[in-house]
Amino acid sequence: MGERGLRSMRGYACGLAVFVCGAAVMSFELAGSRVLAPYAGTSLRVWTNLLGVILASLSAGYWAGGRLADRRPDPRLLSSLILAAGACVGLTALLRDRLPSALQARIEGPGALSLLASLALFAPANVLLGAVSPFAARLRIRDPGSSGATVGALYALSALGSIAGTFLAGFVLIPLWGSGRLLFALAAGLALLSLLFRGGRRAQARSAVLLLLFAAGGLAPGAAGDGLLLDLDTPYNRIRVCEETDEETGRPVRVLSTDPYGQESAVFLDGDGLVFDYHTFFRLGEHLVPGFRRVALIGGGAYAYPNWFIRRYPGARIDVAEIDPALTAVARRFFGLRDHPRLSILHEDGRLFLNRRGERYDLIIVDAFRDASCVPHHLTTVEAVRRMRARLADGGAVLVNIIGSVEGPHGRFTRAEYATYRAVFPRVDLFPVGLPGDGERVQNIVLAASSTPRPSVSGEAELDRILEHRWRGGVASDVPVLTDDRAPVEYYLDGVR
């Protein structure tokens, strides 16, 4: 092959390298969010740390790769950079649970944990991946007069690779393979890519060995922890199902979690009944809207409450808006969810469900969380509350599950949500589930909003016990109403666990 042919082949190889490495960066980033989720959650702070570390690492890689290419523009060195990046991604796959778990045992709070885990697990590979584009550009530039076009073309290919990696990982590979196998596949792909620039047999053998090791790691079954029945990545969550003993009752329970700091849902394994006390406070609907017939629930989880609802209210039906179809499938497999003519499941975002023109409800219950304590911000705003009131029948009511306190710094979100509902409904009450008289205790709080005043007692013993939990103190007006334009929910909930 002539010199012109070698240059042409090298040009194609460089273009392929920057495209694949661009795809690897974004796939690695999306997988990283799932790696951190069981140990630090998915809050804005966790995402900020992950994105900040990745961008800083790429910037360091761009700088170092350009300097290194000027000193030694050798295709074999580019091969070593790509192979080293693959090795770092493979190491991340091996340590994805061990390292965050070790950090969790020593560090309080998701902020510091996610920052340190991101630095250890994701920075090294991204520094090396960032070095590929400037190095490839240096190899392709032969005519200074066309260097701008060459660099622009390569960075466009890198961006196209990032777009492809984003859609492929987010819509296909993470739901299909899970984050662990995706990481091993990325490592194997980078090892394979490095072979394009390998000249000697010994170097090719090293790349081939790592390729086989990473491929084998991706094919190996994942290890399950004690009591862990399922560890599943979906487009919306990393879902874990395990069995343990309920601390309050001593009864065996099966638990669904999508966050390290709380439990999404749970059911008893030895009988019926609701595991979480706050679910019983949804009986407030019986008092606010006697004889209700149509109920909407935003947030299905493991469908523990809808299953109980069907048994308790034989004359009522419930429509559940659950954004993640995989959660519904998990509920069917592990939590006893069955089809029922009075249960309708809609797989869509709760706000979109509210925005649709549809049937009006006697009662709307909001029990949706993005992590252990954070309600999705677009469900908390005055615009969302107005949509809830528009979907209510005459005399209808809304119940909202909140985690926080009423007073003190951990009660800012509670007070903001109270002010927001008061801007739409004439009657709003708070019902702390644990200790109703302790305003600074972080606990489940059920907010009840209605247009029709009701007596303070019902005449039914258990329901009257719930009504006695009504917060009788004042609610400070120290935070503004939440709006679609400004709803700093995670800021208000900082430190609430």
| Most confident among 40-49, 85-94, 203-212 (mean pLDDT) | 85-94
**pLDDT score at 346:** 95
Angle separating helix axes 3-40 and 179-194, nearest 10 degrees: 160
For residue 27 the two structure tokens come to 């796939």
Map residue 420 onto helix, strand or coil. Answer: helix
Count of other CB atoms within 10 angstroms of residue 221: 6
**pLDDT class of 1 with cuts at 50, 70, 90:** very low
- Cβ distance 408 to 443 under 8 Å? no
CA 363 vs CA 15, 37, 148: distances in Å: 58, 33, 62
Beta strands in 315-442 (DSSP E): 317-321, 343-346, 361-366, 392-404, 427-432
User: What is the predicted pLDDT for the residue at 233?
Assistant: 83
Is residue 482's pLDDT more than 90?
Answer: yes
Q: What pLDDT sits at residue 97?
A: 86
Q: Which helix (H) or strand (E) holds 254?
A: strand 252-257
Give the span between the Cα atoms of 61 and 19, in whole angstroms. Answer: 16
pLDDT digits 0-9 by tens, 349-394:
999 999 987 889 999 999 998 766 678 889 999 999 999 999 999 9
Tell me: pLDDT of 169 over 50.
yes
CA distance 439 to 408: 8
Residue 247 has pLDDT above 90, yes or no: no
Whole-number pLDDT of residue 400: 97
Instruction: Report yes or no: 233 and 179 within 8 Å, Cβ to Cβ.
Output: yes
The angle that helices 110-121 and 3-40 make with each other, rounded to 10 degrees, is 160
pLDDT per residue over 403-459, tens digit each? 999 999 999 999 999 999 999 999 999 999 999 989 999 999 999 999 887 767 777
Token duo for residue 400: 């909202």
Q: So what's the pLDDT on residue 10?
A: 61
CB atoms near residue 143 (< 10 Å): 8
User: What's the pLDDT at 215?
Assistant: 62
Beta bridge partners of 401: 446
**What pLDDT is recorded for position 195?**
82
Range in 143-157, 175-189, 246-260 the model is least confident about? 143-157
Share of the chain above pLDDT 90, in %: 60
Confidence of residue 6 (pLDDT cuts 50, 70, 90): very low
- Residues 263-272: tens digit of each pLDDT: 788 999 988 8
Backbone angles phi, psi at 251, to 5 degrees: -90, 150
Mean pLDDT taken over the chain: 88
Q: How many CB atoms lie within 10 A of CB 242?
A: 20
Reported as a pLDDT band with limits 50, 70 and 90, residue 211 is: low
